[in-house]
């Protein structure tokens, strides 16, 4: 029996845009000549790596936190995050003067931990993955009676992320397809609802890391599948289990999800660094990686790719550059 009750709609996402407009950047949507030449299509990049806190996650966090009323706002906020949601929650909570606690995996990038603390949140490091951090955060939430803000499986969070699609469609009237990374599914689900309820003809395609392809496997089996472990350099989408809500929305609205290997993600990151002159984290480069690897098979003239974040560990980026240099010099 399907008990799914849809609360996320285009009007809800439009309302979210009005709520967060004073708080977030309206990020650039830039054409990319090199990618366009490679793909034989008009490619545009939605640069959420230039968002405040360096990631799209601020949108969902801000919409949720600024939508809180009464006691929910007074008792403080807690969340679990691999890093970007943490920064978004910490920033929005500080802006609204609400105390925030964040649980992150023990191996979360140091840059993301420091940034979250700099925004005023109290950070706990726990477990080997986002899912481990989530379990511990839920335990703390019960003990401290704080308001839990989920990283992706929440209608208000998804509505905030869906505002990206509204900005793309407002600027690129004739967009034919939109590509976005997917981990737990909050970004892809929110954008898919916005896109399909605005114009069902626009294709919406997700890109998932092959080493953390929980959503792909779940869709293939028609039910939510949890992975025993995940392994990918794209920490922002390294999620073992999709959200209950996000799975339902994606199943209903998304046209396709493709996977990319870590080597392909690295190529995407290097492309953005060398050609785009900007840093992107693994998840942020996933869409570009899929295009470069010719994984995107869609009849479309105008394609927008969401570059979801730029909070990459400098040591990781340095190692990728070093390996690439060795490959080039030994070739």
- What's the pLDDT tens digit per position in 26-69? 999 999 999 999 999 999 999 999 999 999 999 999 999 999 98
The third-level CATH classification (topology) of the domain covering 10-55+154-324 is: Rossmann fold (3.40.50)
The arithmetic mean of pLDDT across residues 185-207, rounded, is 98
Residue 71 burial class via C-beta count within 10 angstroms: exposed 0-12, middle 13-18, buried 19 and up: exposed
Percent of the chain with pLDDT strictly greater than 90: 85
pLDDT at 3: 60
Model confidence band, residue 165 (pLDDT cutoffs 50, 70, 90): very high
Given CA atoms 146, 152, 155, 161 in this order, what sign does their dihedral have? positive
Work out the average pLDDT over 175-197.
Answer: 98
DSSP assignment string, 203-236 = EEEEEEEGGG-HHHHHHHHTS----S----S-GG
Reduce the DSSP state of residue 46 to 3 states and report it: strand
Domain 58-148 has CATH 3.40.50.1100: yes
**Contact residues for 219 (Cβ-Cβ < 8 A; gap 6+):** 247, 250, 251, 257
Domain with CATH 3.40.50.1100 in the chain: 10-55+154-324, 58-148
**Active centre residues (catalytic):** 57, 308
Q: What is the mean pLDDT of the chain?
A: 94
Q: Assign 121 to helix, strand or coil.
A: coil
pTM: 0.95
For residues 103 and 137, what is the distance between their CA atoms, to the nearest angstrom?
6
Round to whole Å and give the CA distance between 82 and 102: 10
**Average pLDDT of the residues in 297-314:** 94
Confidence of residue 1 (pLDDT cuts 50, 70, 90): very low
192 within 8 A of 254, measured Cβ to Cβ: yes
Residue 108 has pLDDT above 80, yes or no: yes
Instruction: Count Cα neighbours of 34 within 13 Å in the Cβ-side half-sphere.
Output: 9
pLDDT tens-digit readout, 64-74? 999 998 888 88
Q: Is the pLDDT of residue 2 over 90?
A: no
pLDDT at res. 325: 78
Residue positions counted in the chain = 331
Query: Does residue 10 register a pLDDT over 90?
Result: yes
pLDDT tens-digit readout, 236-283: 999 999 999 999 999 999 999 999 999 999 999 999 999 999 999 999
State the pLDDT at residue 331: 64
Both tokens of 50, joined, read 């230039």
Cα–Cα dist 79/180, whole Å: 23
At 323 the pLDDT is: 85
Residues above pLDDT 70, as percent of the chain? 99
Task: Look at residue 130 in the predicted model and tell me its pLDDT.
Answer: 86
């Amino acid at each position: 029996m399907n008990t799914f009750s849809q609360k996320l709609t285009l009007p809800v996402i439009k309302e979210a845009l009005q709520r967060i407009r004073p708080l977030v950047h309206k990020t650039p949507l830039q054409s990319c000549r090199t990618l366009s030449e490679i793909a034989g299509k008009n490619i545009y990049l939605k640069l959420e790596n230039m968002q405040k806190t360096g990631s799209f996650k601020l949108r969902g966090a801000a919409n949720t936190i600024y939508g809180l009323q009464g006691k929910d706002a007074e008792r403080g906020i807690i969340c679990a995050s691999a890093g970007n949601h943490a920064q978004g929650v910490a920033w929005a909570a500080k802006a609204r003067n609400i105390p925030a606690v964040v649980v992150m995996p023990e191996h979360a990038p140091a840059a993301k931990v420091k940034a979250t603390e700099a925004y005023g949140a109290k950070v706990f490091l726990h477990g080997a993955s986002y899912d481990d951090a989530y379990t511990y955060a839920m335990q703390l939430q019960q003990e401290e009676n704080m308001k839990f803000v989920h990283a992706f499986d929440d209608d208000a969070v998804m509505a905030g992320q869906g505002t990206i699609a509204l900005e793309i469609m407002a600027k690129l009237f004739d967009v034919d397809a939109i590509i976005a990374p997917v981990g737990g599914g909050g970004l892809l689900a929110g954008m898919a609802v916005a896109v399909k309820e605005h114009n069902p003809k626009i294709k919406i395609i997700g890109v998932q890391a092959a080493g953390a392809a929980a959503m792909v496997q779940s869709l293939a089996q028609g039910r939510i599948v949890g992975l025993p472990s995940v392994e990918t350099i794209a920490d922002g989408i390294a999620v073992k289990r999709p959200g209950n809500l996000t799975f339902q929305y994606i199943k209903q609205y998304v046209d396709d999800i493709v996977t990319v290997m870590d080597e392909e993600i690295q190529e995407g990151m290097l492309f953005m660094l060398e050609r785009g002159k900007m840093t992107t984290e693994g998840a942020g480069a996933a869409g570009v990686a899929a295009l470069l690897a010719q994984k995107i098979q869609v009849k479309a003239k105008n394609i927008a790719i969401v570059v979801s974040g730029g909070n990459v560990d400098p040591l990781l980026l340095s190692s990728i550059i070093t390996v690439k240099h060795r490959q080039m010099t030994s070739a």
